């Protein structure tokens, strides 16, 4: 069983099962990954397998791949240079996912924190503003962590226990149940859990 694989979000679709139920799926395209290096407890403090994909067009001595990610290693024999493909996932039922959510830019408090808007009539100046944000003379400053406007999205999202619905080895695709974070072509880490 592999420790995981690196892929790109391909898009969403649906799969009809034998009993007629429809399962919404996200397709992840996983080109063949290479075991870039191995880490062990004695030297690095933890056991891990570093996978790489997307070879550089003009590789150098130090950089041969564009995408390199680390995966936890649990009790399996891997060697540097081994390949990991989607066909290795035929016995895997559930996986964890790590991805970057869609970026939404600078947003106000209504979109970012689900605040309610103020009245829109009779001279009100409080339409989409956050309202009072300060404290009293003590401490005389805005408390850290206050919900205010700011950058929204592009956060690291981890989803656990995502079902593997189907595998398409000829197209290097894995169909995972439900939606996954990020836009199309977002890098997705598929992690096999114990």
| Number of other residues whose CB lies within 10 A of the CB of residue 177 | 17
Annotated domain spans of the chain: 4-102+155-192, 105-153
Per the CB < 8 A criterion, the answer to whether 175 and 166 are in contact is: yes
- What does the pLDDT read at residue 62? 84
pLDDT in 10s for each residue of the chain, 194 residues: 678 999 999 999 999 999 999 999 999 999 989 998 888 888 888 888 899 998 889 988 888 899 999 988 765 667 888 888 898 888 899 999 999 999 999 999 999 999 999 998 888 888 999 988 888 888 889 999 999 999 999 999 999 999 999 999 999 999 999 999 999 999 999 998 87
Coil, strand or helix: which one is 90? coil
pTM: 0.84
Q: How far apart are CA 29 and CA 35, in angstroms?
A: 18
Spell out the CATH class of 4-102+155-192: mainly beta
Range 170-174, long-range pairs (CB < 8 A, 24+ positions): 171/29, 172/29, 172/30, 172/31, 172/32, 172/85, 172/86, 173/10, 173/27, 173/28, 173/29, 173/30, 173/86, 174/5, 174/7, 174/27, 174/28, 174/30, 174/86, 174/89
- What does the pLDDT read at residue 105? 96
- What does the pLDDT read at residue 112? 96
């Amino acid at each position: 069983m592999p420790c995981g694989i690196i892929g790109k979000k391909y898009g969403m679709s649906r799969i009809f099962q034998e009993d007629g139920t429809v399962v919404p799926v996200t397709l992840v395209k996983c080109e063949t990954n290479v075991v870039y290096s191995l880490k062990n407890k004695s030297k690095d403090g933890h056991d891990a397998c570093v996978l790489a994909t997307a070879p550089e067009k003009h590789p150098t001595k130090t950089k041969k791949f564009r995408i390199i990610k680390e995966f936890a290693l649990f009790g399996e024999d891997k060697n540097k240079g081994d390949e990991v493909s989607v066909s290795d996932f035929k016995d895997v039922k559930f996986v964890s996912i790590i991805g970057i959510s869609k970026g939404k830019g600078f947003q106000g408090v209504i979109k970012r924190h689900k605040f309610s808007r103020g009245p829109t009539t009779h001279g009100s100046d409080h339409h989409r503003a956050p309202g009072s944000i300060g404290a009293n003379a003590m401490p005389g400053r805005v408390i850290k962590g206050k919900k205010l406007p700011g950058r929204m999205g592009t956060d690291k999202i981890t989803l656990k226990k995502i079902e593997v619905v189907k595998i398409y080895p000829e197209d290097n695709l894995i169909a995972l149940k439900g939606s996954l974070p990020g836009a199309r072509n977002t890098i997705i880490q598929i992690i096999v859990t114990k």
